[in-house]
Structure 1
Amino acid sequence: MDLLELFFIVLGAAVIVCYGVRLLLFTRMLFPKMWFPLSKSFFTSMGEWAVVTGASEGIGRAYAFALAEQGMDVVILSRTKATLDQVAKEIGASTGQRVKVIATDLMEDVFSEIEDQLRCLNIGVLVNNVGMLPSFIPCKFLECAELDQTITKVINCNVKTMAKMCRIILPAMENRGKGVIVNISSGVASIPFPLYSLYAASKVFVERFSQGLHAEYKDKGIIIQAVTPFGVSTRMADYQKTNIVTLSPEDFVKSSLQYIRAGDKTYGSVCHIVLGWLLQCVPLEILYADSILLSLQNYVKKRRHPPLKVTL
């Protein structure tokens, strides 16, 4: 056996091992209860309180309920006090846990006031859920209505708010040596996504920021994870009918919490894991073809309900 033949044998073996490991890691995600088990006291062991932004409806509301059901008291933040009060009443009635309401516009400079209201709480979990989709109907960047204002709103809501809330909550977690931070990104951040360019780019920040923070603080006992769902039936998604791909907020959150110990990023459910894998396997030249983008626009227009405001 000459040297060149040996080289190709070793190279082939390395490729097989590499793809075997990747397959194993992929299959682990299909069985989270087996690979990433959580004790019944996992969340309460992190701290007494959970903080959830954008908690008046949709995914945020579902996280607030789910964490209260795990025995945590919850702080819920959003703009509409009446809606928050109703959510707080329902959580208290169904779980018996305490609920603190903070009605505030997170796109404004309100973070010093929020920090004051959270200062004395033993916060074990933070869910940064609040987000804004500029338009449910896909459109090119320059065709977005009120573009200058939209740019500012998307960055403030999807980027600044998440970073500021981490800045407020993370120091106490570091001091205690434990905590969980969940930052809600989006499946569209898996690739550069035409017609949702601004939104997708803002969610890439969420993903990369979360992964960087996790690397910085995992040795301190803190889990920081980006959750990147595709279809969830919320106001932002125009309340699409639930099916195998589009999940209810409650089903998605229940599934995503099983992946808390799965690393710095998760799609949150088996069907969305498969979708993410498929999306990244398709050549971008195909996805970016004009006919495909036009078909996407037409498909969304046909499926949408009567116009709804999409800022959460």
Structure 2
Amino acid sequence: MGVALEQFFIFVGLLACLAYLVKCVRFSKCIFLHFWKVLPRSFLKSMGQWAVITGAGDGIGKAYSFELARQGLNVVLISRTLKKLQAIAAEIECTTGSSVKIIQADFTKDNIYEHIREKLEGLEIGILVNNVGMLPNFLPSHFLDTPDEIQSLIHCNITSVVKVLTPYAVSTPMTKYLNTNMVTKTADEFVKESLNYVMIGDETCGCLIHEILRSFLNLIPSWVLYSSTFQKKYMDYLKHNTNTI
């Protein structure tokens, strides 16, 4: 019995070591890609001629629209406000030369998906950047849910993998323009860095400092993060680090 128990603990220890080794390898890749950009400029364009960006009128979605166009992709901008879409489309076409299509859609309504499907028909879509349904929250796991309708209408056209990004603090209209610092990135800074991590797994925080923050938070018991005291202190922090526009 004693020998069997000893072997069991050895086995559990080996599994724990293996899990930490995998995390270390992943983290090492993030550090490497933060300082050395090895992704060929033509890679994103090779995935497909078009990128679809929802929530393209502001913040991260807008930043992705410009950056992917600068990388040589044509972009489809989907958002609720037509005037914003038209202005962004004109600027992208003028500054990058990429083709731009706009689709006005309010994702709080249920009757928009057939319209989007028709507009996307025939396009070779390589990248989907989905910002629909995101709510500001301290824990990035809340960013993972996306509407089934979006997944299904893109699935019939898309030619490559949709990657999940779970960032922490990014200064955007949604986060009420948090003051930028070492942890809080501007939308442009976050987007440019996130494209370096396209080849790392199915999910990433999108930038090195957020990967470090996630590793630190994983050491904290979940009951502490979800406690009312912790949430109150975090909300107080947000209030004192928000710009008034």
Q: What TM-score range do you get, normalising by the shorter chain?
A: 0.7 to 0.9
1:169 to 154, 162, 176: 154
Aligned residue identity for 2:33: P
CA distance in 2, matches of 1:268, 1:137: 16
CA distance in 2, matches of 1:245, 1:103: 33
Task: Give the superposition deviation at 1:40.
Answer: 2.1
Following superposition of structure 1 onto structure 2, how do residues 250-261 of structure 1 map, counting pairs within 5 Å? 250-261=188-199
Following superposition of structure 1 onto structure 2, how do residues 36-55 of structure 1 map, counting pairs within 5 Å? 37-55=38-56
Counterpart of 1:200 in structure 2 is none
Following superposition of structure 1 onto structure 2, how do residues 16-165 of structure 1 map, counting pairs within 5 Å? 16-32=17-33, 37-108=38-109, 109-133=111-135, 159-160=146-147, 163-165=148-150
Unpaired runs of at least 5, structure 2: none
Asked if the contact 2:167/2:205 (under 8 Å) is kept, the reply is: yes
Identity %: 37
What number of residue pairs does the alignment pair up?
Answer: 237
Unpaired runs of at least 5, structure 1: 139-153, 180-222
SS in 2 for 1:30: helix
| TM-score, with structure 1 as normaliser | 0.68
Aligned residue identity for 2:7: F
CA distance in 2, matches of 1:46, 1:255: 19
CA distance in 2, matches of 1:33, 1:275: 15
SS in 2 for 1:126: strand
Asked if the contact 1:49/1:124 (under 8 Å) is kept, the reply is: yes
SS in 2 for 1:71: coil
CA distance in 2, matches of 1:8, 1:119: 56
Following superposition of structure 1 onto structure 2, how do residues 6-21 of structure 1 map, counting pairs within 5 Å? 7=7, 10-11=10-11, 15-21=16-22
CA distance in 2, matches of 1:28, 1:278: 17
Relative to structure 2, which stretch is displaced further, 264-273 or 282-291?
282-291
1:276 aligns with 2:175: no
Task: Give the superposition deviation at 1:300.
Answer: 2.6
Counterpart of 1:149 in structure 2 is none
Task: Give the superposition deviation at 1:169.
Answer: 1.7
- Label 1:132 to 1:125 Cα distance change in 2 as closer, same or farther (>3 A): closer
Asked if the contact 1:137/1:297 (under 8 Å) is kept, the reply is: no
What is the Cα-based RMSD across aligned positions, in Å?
2.9
- Label 1:62 to 1:10 Cα distance change in 2 as closer, same or farther (>3 A): same
Aligned residue identity for 1:117: K
1:224 to 146, 162, 167: 162
CA distance in 1, matches of 2:126, 2:56: 17
Asked if the contact 1:36/1:262 (under 8 Å) is kept, the reply is: no
| TM-score, with structure 2 as normaliser | 0.85
Relative to structure 2, which stretch is displaced further, 8-17 or 288-297?
8-17
Counterpart of 1:295 in structure 2 is 233
CA distance in 2, matches of 1:33, 1:304: 27
CA distance in 1, matches of 2:236, 2:43: 45
**C-alpha distance after superposition, 1:253-310 (max 9, x if no partner):** 111111111111000000000111111111234334443333223333333445x8xx
**C-alpha distance after superposition, 1:179-223 (max 9, x if no partner):** 2xxxxxxxxxxxxxxxxxxxxxxxxxxxxxxxxxxxxxxxxxxx2
CA distance in 2, matches of 1:137, 1:274: 18
